[in-house]
Each structure stands twice: as C-alpha cells, then as structure tokens.
Amino acid sequence: MVQCPRGTRDFLPDQLEKRRAYEGTLRSVARRFGFREIQTPIFEDAELFILRSGPNVLKELYAFKDKGDRDLALRPEMTAAVVRAFVNGMSNDPKPIKVFYFGQCFRYERPQAGRYREFFQFGAEIMGAATPETDAEAIAMAAFMIKSLGLKNYKMRIGHIGVLRQRIADIGVPKERTAEVLQKLDKKLYDEARPILKDMGVKDEDMDALFQLTETVGGTEVLSMVPGEAGDYLREVVDYLSRMGVNDVEIDLGVVRGLDYYTGMVFEAEAPVLGAEKQICGGGSYTLSELFGGEKVFSTGFAVGFDRILLAMEKEGIVYEREGIDAYVVAVSDEVRKDSFGIVAKLREAGVSADIDIMGRKLGKAMKSASTVCARYAVIVGAGELSRNAVTLRDMKSGEQCEVPIAELADRIRN
C-alpha cells in the first residue's frame, strides 16, 4: 500500500473539521486585534531562506532545482516570505502593517510526536516600529490565542536576544560565529559551547558570566540584572502587557530562538504536557526587509505551532464536539423516494444543511445514517403526510416528533 511520505499526515474529515474550527478561532482573534490575512507561495527562491534563517533551518530545508534550473525551497517558516511580500508590494502602505497567516511549512527533521516534516503555523507580523507597544501587542495576541483555544497549562517566557548578542560580541566572538554560539545556548549545551568559545580565545570567566546570563529567569525583579537599555525596554513591554491583562509571563534571558533574524525582544510559549517538543509558539522582533532589497523596517511577529497546540489541548482533555448537520431526509417507502429529493433540495436552498439517503436504504437503516452524520433532525417523508403537503419532523436527541407543513419546514429547523 502506498503511504503518505514520512513526517506528513492525511487529515480525514473528523480531524479536519476540528482543525478548521480551531483555525477559525485563531482567525477571529487575529481579526479582533486588527490583523488582516496574507498568503504567500508554498515555495520560494531558496536564497530567501538562506539569506537569514540560520543554520538550524538551513540544514532542514527542502531545497530543489526546478526544470528551469532555479534553486527553490519549500518554506520552512513564513516570516521571510511575508517580509519579501511586504518589500514587493506593501512597503508604501501606511504603517503599522498587521498581517496574519495560516499554512503549512516544511522542515526535513526527524519525525516524532509533535514534530513533523509538514506542519502548520498560524502566525502574525507587525511591521512599523521598534516600540514596546508593538512587542506587547504581539505577545498579548499570542496569549489571547492560546487562551481562546482553551489551553490551561502553558508558560510564556520573554527574553532579549540583543543582550546576548551584545555580550557575545563583547567577549570577543567574531560576528560570523555568533549563530554557532547562540545555537548551543539555545539548547543550553554549555559543555559543547565551551570548546567552541575557547577556540575563539574567550576567557573562562567570560564564558561563565555568559552562561549565567542565559540562566537569568524570574519576574520583573530580574530585569535589574539585565545590562544596558534592554532591561528598561523589557520592563515597558511587561508593563503594557499587564495593563492588557497579560500577567502570566516570565522573564527568561535564556530564550534564544532557533532562527537567526531576531534582534530584540524574543518570546516562547510552551505546554509542559507535551514533553520534549513542548514549544507551542515562538516569536520576537527583527528586521529583515533590508536584506530583501527594501528599506529597514522594524517588525515583530510570532507563529503558533498549530499541530502542537492541538496536541496539547487533546492531552489536557479538551474535547471537540462534532458539528453535524441540521437535517437528514428519510423516505418511508420507495413510493416517496423521489419526492424526498425535492424536499432536501428546498431545505438546502433555504440555507439548512441537509443530507439524504442515496444508497436505497429502508427506513430503519436510513434513520441510522441520520445518527451517523449527527443530524439534529430527521425529516421523515411518508405518503400520508405528503398528501397533506407535510412531513414528520423528529428531534434526534429527544425523539419527539410532530407533523410540519413543508412550507414551514426550513424555518422550524432553523429556529
């Protein structure tokens, strides 16, 4: 049997209905925050990602040549593409530009629970200014999204990559090797970072101070330990957040992020229930537009790992109730079978979701089908009622039924 490729999944109707419903929840939050949707291609010139995505993403890239010998790649994330679209077509629009997106991304990773080669992100970007308000707005929306889906147990950590970058530069790490060091700090692999830093001539005490910085975790009180203006900046972000009712955040200078483009505030949300692959959302502030030929524009964004947050919800016991349909039309006998098609057509025209047996089933089996498709009502069409221009309407939950004139049927079902 041919299977779908490793790390990809089919979404059968039961799952897809649930996914669409939750996607709808996120969409409605984004609109409530004043964001508008954007869509970009699933593949791009490979260069777009090579320019500034960092070593992690590059080794995971699905890159290929097309028949015209162009170097292309499936998108591993969407921020770079959104910024490219901004440079190409939105750079003169009034700022700030607030966009959101939903779609699949591709990374050649080792698949495991919560980690796929094709996965979905729901993300947002704000392009305009490097202000604490911008960062707070992005974090607040991410928190609102997680809450709207009903997830209870999660942790939001806010850091500042600028502080780490500055410290790394100060202790003598060459600029082109910063990403290498950050990659180790991201995973807290201090033992692996040591020989690399030593090789660059970094002193032991400077290394220790750097590692200690990434262990700075706590409430706003730890911001006094944050050097330079970054501490004041993060204090402002947290202040705005608390005024927006987002208080359950933690300062953590160990938030490094796997992507290379961040410059300032960075944040992540995790759901501990997921174990190893617990990061459900990540983002931060960056500038990318100047790399793609545009003017430098400060931006902040984030992406929710849609598959992961759904897994976390499932593990927390959040159950999705299948929506079902309004009505299922059942013919009592073959004699009225064709008339019942006239009735289902009228219901559909009136905006009622309605289905009908097309398998030539007898009454009992057709009623079972009505349950299978989770119909709220069965519309039972019999010769006697039909002669009075009526049908029997049966509430599938209570079992109550009554005769209803066909002319009133759609209204009765809708109300």
Binding site residues, ligand HAM, CB under 6 A = 77, 79, 107, 109, 115-116, 119, 121, 123, 125, 258-259, 279-284, 301-303, 305, 307-308
Q: How many CB atoms lie within 10 A of CB 323?
A: 11
Q: Give whichever of 249 and 406 is closer to ligand HAM, judged by the CB atom.
A: 249
Q: Give whichever of 312 and 356 is closer to ligand HAM, judged by the CB atom.
A: 312
Would you give the DSSP letter of residue 112? B
Q: Compute the least distance from the CB of residue 220 to ligand HAM, in Å.
A: 24
Whether residue 351 contacts residue 369, with contact meaning beta carbons closer than 8 Å, is answered with: no
Report the residue number whose CB is nearest to ligand HAM.
305
Q: Give whichever of 255 and 329 is closer to ligand HAM, judged by the CB atom.
A: 255
Q: Give whichever of 75 and 167 is closer to ligand HAM, judged by the CB atom.
A: 75
Whether residue 137 contacts residue 33, with contact meaning beta carbons closer than 8 Å, is answered with: yes
Whether residue 98 contacts residue 35, with contact meaning beta carbons closer than 8 Å, is answered with: yes
CA distance readout (Å), 16 to 117, 322, 340: 18, 11, 30
Q: Compute the least distance from the CB of residue 246 to ligand HAM, in Å.
A: 18
Q: Compute the least distance from the CB of residue 344 to ligand HAM, in Å.
A: 41
CA distance readout (Å), 221 to 229, 232, 310: 15, 11, 34
DSSP readout, 288-310? -GGGGTS----EEEEEEEHHHHH
In degrees rounded to 5, what are phi and psi of residue 267? -150, 155
Q: Compute the least distance from the CB of residue 323 to ligand HAM, in Å.
A: 26
Q: Give whichever of 105 and 246 is closer to ligand HAM, judged by the CB atom.
A: 105
Q: Compute the least distance from the CB of residue 4 to ligand HAM, in Å.
A: 15
3-state secondary structure of 394: strand
Whether residue 63 contacts residue 46, with contact meaning beta carbons closer than 8 Å, is answered with: yes
Q: Give whichever of 262 and 377 is closer to ligand HAM, judged by the CB atom.
A: 262
Helix, strand, coil abundance in the chain, percent, nearest 5: 45, 25, 30
Q: Give whichever of 162 and 283 is closer to ligand HAM, judged by the CB atom.
A: 283
**Amino acid, res. 268:** E
Q: Compute the least distance from the CB of residue 177 to ligand HAM, in Å.
A: 21
Q: What's the rounded Cα separation, in Å, for the pair 100 and 105?
A: 15
Q: Give whichever of 312 and 410 is closer to ligand HAM, judged by the CB atom.
A: 312
Q: What's the rounded Cα separation, in Å, for the pair 380 and 154?
A: 49
Q: Which two tokens stand for residue 379?
A: 């519309």
In degrees rounded to 5, what are phi and psi of residue 354? -140, 145
Q: Compute the least distance from the CB of residue 293 to ligand HAM, in Å.
A: 20
Whether residue 198 contacts residue 184, with contact meaning beta carbons closer than 8 Å, is answered with: no
Q: Compute the least distance from the CB of residue 365 to ligand HAM, in Å.
A: 42
Q: Give whichever of 299 and 340 is closer to ligand HAM, judged by the CB atom.
A: 299
Q: Compute the least distance from the CB of residue 56 to ligand HAM, in Å.
A: 8
Whether residue 159 contacts residue 215, with contact meaning beta carbons closer than 8 Å, is answered with: no
Q: Give whichever of 77 and 355 is closer to ligand HAM, judged by the CB atom.
A: 77
Q: Compute the least distance from the CB of residue 270 to ligand HAM, in Å.
A: 8
> If DSSP states are collapsed to H, E and C, what string results for 300-344?
EEEEEEHHHHHHHHHHCCCCCCCCCEEEEEEECCHHHHHHHHHHH
